[in-house]
Amino acid sequence: RDPLELLFSEYVDRCRAGEQIDVASFANENPELKEEILELFPTLAALESFKKQGPPISDVDQQQIESGLQMGEYQLLREIGVGGMGIVYEAFQKSIQRRVALKVLPREFSRQKDRRERFMQEARTVAQLSYRNIVPIIDFGEADQRCFFAMRLVEGVGLDWVVLRRNQNSEPITSNEVLDHFQQQGVPLTGIDKETDEDDNDEDSLAFEFDYAAHSATQRAKQQPRWTLKPDSWKQIARIGVQAARALEHAHNAGILHRDIKPGNLLLDYEGILWITDFGLAKSEKELSITGTNDVVGTMRYISPERFHGQVDARSDLYALGLTLFELCINRPVFNQTNRSELMRSIIEGIIPAPRSINSKIPRGLEAILVKATAKQPTQRYQSAAEMIQDLRAFGRGLEVKPITQIKVRTKKNRNWLPGITIALLLLCLLEAYLLANYRVLFPRTPQVTTSVQMKAGALDQRLENLDRMYNQVTGRAISTDLTRTSPLLPLPDNQRNLMQTLLNLYRQLRKDNEQTGSVFTIEDIDNRIQFIRKLLS
């Protein structure tokens, strides 16, 4: 479980036991996550106070309909999850006699303009999307001073449950077990109802492989399972990936980024269909986000490296999907650090082990897909969901996946890139020393002053270009991008500080040489770099 989730459970248990403890005091007890506790716990505590546990099963009978909480025409039957912006209930819509998932914003939040707008923005965003693998919005409005929106109800489980279940028990997961778990406990942030679409025979669903897709909806649990997920069901994992990527492709084509793809937001239902839910952090590429363009939002464990530097696009969603599929293959989180700074450092530096180094049974073709999807540099990942779908389907059909030509499979041998960079910096320092020692030889005094200055300026430009290239290698990003960024700077990892200090000294020496030549051709560019690196080091 997520460290914050464990801490919140502890906080709630202590409060229920009668202990008087406020959020600030609890945050001081846990300094490693103090910032997150102060930011999230007031919201979670308010949601906790609003919760009311309903019946343990989802069967609708007249007694349940006539009792419990009411939200407009919706009768709340039971709580099935808590999201970042509200509580999700299984509910019964009386007017047309159907079950739905109802997401409700607590009254105290409904009165806050920013929270209210963000909540309704989620409804408007999903309303723009109509696709089989995206949980649809079917109604939204306000009742009893609370905002809400209704979704069709998915009888299924989050992939986080699948990962945990596979970690604890090596027995195959069946569709019957998924349905039983949903009926007994519910699932976080669900969507869709047991109505079946006309196109049940989906070749990407898990049921397709077992030829059960033609069964009627009345042939439920207690019958032969519609699908089975075994420990070595690699093609089934690929099918899950294809379905998720199809939904992302549809959203991306509509200009919408999800920004919070993770196992808990991907639901696997009784029919073997994968659904994406919780678009609470989604952002339109054509509009300013309510949360701000460069906000780092979402679950940190699944945030791509470039998002810490204010950059996000479709490839960021695909990175998170790659991590999710990775976890289905190894049955645990890819990043399992509990320390926030260590987790951030691992993500930013792209420290991800090779899939087969954890589970040697993973096919090489699937490993190639996982490595490419989770590459540190966006340019090395799948550039679109369509590309990822193509490889996943090829693997699922037993075809050869294109070999990775630009990305080395990450192993212990190539994980540590610092020695290579240190050697490169050493060579660069030797080059700088050579240029300084031979300065007078390279640029002798001559009556042709104009020509000499031009030659010196050209040489200085080349040195500046070399230093910039080394900066890019150390940080993994272009200095031209960093110089124009508006988002806050993140502290440098300890293993980069010495390298960056060396670069700073070289930039300073370059500036000094530039002054001695009498040329100001690049002085402003050099000063900008010096000031920026000083900020990084401070």
Residue 459 — pLDDT band, cuts 50, 70, 90?
A: low
Q: Tokens representing 146?
A: 């609370």
Counting Cβ atoms within 10 Å, is residue 142 exposed (0-12), middle (13-18) or buried (19+)?
middle
Query: What is the distance between the alpha carbons of residues 152 and 192, in angstroms, rounded to a whole number?
Result: 3
Q: Which residue has the higher pLDDT, 381 or 473?
A: 381
pLDDT digits (tens, 9 = 90+) for 267-279: 999 999 999 988 8
Whether the pLDDT of residue 142 is over 70: the answer is: yes
- pLDDT for residue 504: 86
State mean pLDDT over 365-377: 96
- At residue 192 the predicted structure's pLDDT band, cuts being 50, 70 and 90, is very low
pLDDT at 389: 96
Phi, psi for residue 28 in degrees, rounded to 5: -65, -25
The tokens for 390 are: 């193509």
The pLDDT, as a whole number, for residue 369 is 97
* pLDDT computed for residue 244 by the predictor: 97
Q: What is the separation of C-alpha 534 from the centre of its chain, rounded to a whole number of angstroms?
A: 31
241, pLDDT greater than 70: yes
Question: Is 50 exceeded by the pLDDT of residue 390?
Answer: yes
- Spatial distance between the Cα atoms of 228 and 247, rounded to a whole number of angstroms: 23
Q: Quickly count: other Cβ atoms within 10 Å of residue 356's Cβ.
A: 19
Average pLDDT taken over every residue of the chain: 76
Dihedral angle over CA of 128, 132, 138, 141, nearest 10: -50
Q: What number is the average pLDDT over the span 521-532?
A: 78
251-261: pLDDT as tens digits: 999 889 998 89
Distance of CA 278 to CAs 81, 192, 289, 339, Å? 11, 12, 16, 26
Q: Which residue did the predictor score with more confidence, 110 or 256?
A: 256
Beta carbons of 406 and 380 less than 8 angstroms apart: yes
Q: Is the pLDDT of residue 385 over 50?
A: yes
Quick one: what percent of the chain has pLDDT higher than 70? 68
Residue 441: what pLDDT? 41
Q: Which of 258-262, 279-283, 351-355, 442-446 comes out lowest in average pLDDT?
A: 442-446
pLDDT at 318 over 90: yes
* 503-507 average pLDDT score: 84
Task: State yes or no: pLDDT of 290 exceeds 50.
Answer: no
Q: What is the tens place of the pLDDT at every residue in 214-236?
A: 344 444 444 678 899 999 999 99
Helix (H, G, I), strand (E, B) or coil at 266: strand
Tell me: the pLDDT tens digits for 3-38?
666 777 778 777 767 777 888 888 888 887 787 777
Name which of 115-119, 329-333, 349-353, 368-372 the model is least confident about: 115-119
- 66 falls in which pLDDT band (50, 70, 90)? very low
Confidence of residue 58 (pLDDT cuts 50, 70, 90): very low
Residue 280: pLDDT over 80: no
Q: What is the pLDDT of residues 67-103, one digit of tens each?
A: 557 888 999 988 887 765 778 899 999 988 999 999 9
Cβ–Cβ under 8 Å, residues 146 and 106? yes
Q: In this model, does residue 242 exceed pLDDT 90? A: yes
| In contact, 152 and 193? CB cutoff 8 Å | yes
Q: How far apart are the first and last CA of the chain?
A: 35
Other Cβ atoms within 10 Å of 300 Cβ, number: 18
Contact 328, 199 (CB under 8 A): no
The pLDDT of residue 197 = 44
pLDDT for 201 equals: 53
Distances (CA, A) of 9 to 28, 45, 109, 116: 17, 10, 22, 26
Q: How far is CA 146 from CA 70, 107, 109, 462, in A?
A: 11, 5, 8, 63
Residue 300 to residue 297: CA distance in whole angstroms: 8
Tokens 């999907």 correspond to: 321
Residue bearing the bigger pLDDT, 42 or 446 = 42
Secondary structure (3-state) at 330: helix
Tell me the angle at which helices 449-475 and 523-537 cross, rounded to the nearest 10 degrees. 30
